[in-house]
Structure 1
Amino acid sequence: MTVAGLLLTPGFGGTRDSPALVVVETAVDPLPVVRLDLPKRAEPAVEHVVAAAGTFAQTLGVRPDRLVLGGRSFGGRVCSMAVAGGLPVAGLVLLSYPLHPPGRPEQLRIDHLPSLKVPVLAISGERDPFGTPDELRTHLAAIPGPLTLTFVPGTHSPTNNGAVAQAVKDWLATIG
């Protein structure tokens, strides 16, 4: 099955015009992309993603399971929660997944990860205070679907959006 489209969401307080999302959209051209603004609370944001994925799929004339969802930080977490809640998709792209608040590794955001049975690409900065490479390797291992974990230079905002975008493009080619 071929991926028909990519829905991208920003980090908390960001917008659909986040430079990281724009660079990813450009890199995956001609794949159709929707960049989506999100409400500031998780539950309404999840509902918004589910509705937008349905509309996007309908526009493309496909089922949602032909879409890849993803986003940066809060946006990626929200997309992963939508998928864990039952939204059928082809895969997930988690850019700078916020594993825990900075300095509070005991407040993990992982309860839904065992429900992610789709291919997942997680890209994070090597010095991300929301999750170190070792923490991410340990906790994202709870994802039962195929996981690709990539680290790039930088913190929670990687220093090279082009490298992030290329990693997304390359990974999309491996899942169809």
Structure 2
Amino acid sequence: MTFTARTVRIETGAGPADVEIFRSKGGKPAFLLVLTHGSGGGNDAKDILAVRDSALELGGAVALALQPYRVAGRRAPGKAEAQDDAWLEIIAALRRKFRGLPLVQGGRSNGARVACRTAREVRARGVIALSFPLHPPGKPEKSRREELLAAGDIPVVVVNGARDPFGIPDAADAAEVRVIPGQAHSYRAGFEEIAATVTPWLARWIAP
């Protein structure tokens, strides 16, 4: 697969975000997919890259957003409201660069939470939630189900490991829930299954 890559800096009220933009060579992208990392991680996680590659194979443009708190060197994202506000600014800037394209957004872990919480406000066509952390480990009573449901009627595809200590969302709470056997919160395998899950789902945004 041949693609181009460049990094742009997007200023937000929470500080700068660094966004890697990938495009397959030739023609206008079919859609824009924006993905982001977990709370202490980066966009080099193999599950994020598997989704990126699937989107590029379909002719989409992909933006991997390193959020402001990570650019600043922090591991904790801070208050959800401030994180969401910065995300809205990131999406608005990317939309100006890719006018008219269907937007799909997503992320892993904390990034999946952000994508679900903001999906309706940015009018996303869909959400990809990798390792959605349903609750803190060992504390199922502190459910984050409402964040998953915040996407409303926007379809959410969830991919979680069968051994994820953060829990696995109920199949009734998403358009699709794919459970990767033997995997915990961070995946060591199962990347082909992840690609097989998101590829047909992303393909719906390709105009006939």
Instruction: Give the TM-score, by structure 2 length.
Output: 0.71
Q: Which has the higher contact order (CA 8 A, sep 6+)?
A: 1
In terms of fraction of residues, the more helix-rich structure is 1
1:156 and 2:185 aligned: yes
1:49 and 2:79 aligned: no
Match for 2:133: what amino acid? Answer: P
Q: What runs of 5+ residues in structure 2 fail to find an aligned partner?
A: 1-28, 70-76
Structure-2 residue corresponding to 1:36: 65
Question: Please, which moves more after superposition, 90-99 or 158-167?
Answer: 158-167
1:157: Cα distance to partner? 1.6
1:73 and 2:109 aligned: yes
Aligned-partner Cα distance in 1 for 2:160–2:149: 20
Choose which of 95, 106, 122 in structure 1 pairs with 2:158.
122
Alignment of 1:85-164 (within 5 A): 86-116=121-151, 117-132=153-168, 136-137=169-170, 141-142=172-173, 147-153=175-181, 154-158=183-187, 159-164=189-194
Note closer, same or farther for the CA distance 1:109–1:25 as it changes in structure 2 (3 Å cut).
same
Structure-1 residue corresponding to 2:22: none
- SS at 1:76 equivalent: helix
* Runs of 4+ residues deviating >6 angstroms: none
Identity within the alignment, %: 30
Question: Please, which moves more after superposition, 17-26 or 74-83?
Answer: 17-26
Match for 2:179: what amino acid? Answer: F
1:8: Cα distance to partner? 0.3
In terms of fraction of residues, the more strand-rich structure is 2
Query: Deviations 1:50-78 (Å, cap 9, x if unpaired)?
Result: 11111112111126xx2000000100001
Question: Please, which moves more after superposition, 6-15 or 109-118?
Answer: 109-118
- SS at 1:70 equivalent: strand
- SS at 1:77 equivalent: helix
Match for 2:62: what amino acid? Answer: V
Aligned-partner Cα distance in 1 for 2:30–2:142: 34
Contact 2:131–2:158 (CA<8 Å) still a contact in 1? Answer: yes
Note closer, same or farther for the CA distance 1:171–1:107 as it changes in structure 2 (3 Å cut).
same
Name the larger-Rg structure: 2
Q: What runs of 5+ residues in structure 1 fail to find an aligned partner?
A: none
Quote the RMSD (CA, aligned, Å).
Answer: 2.0
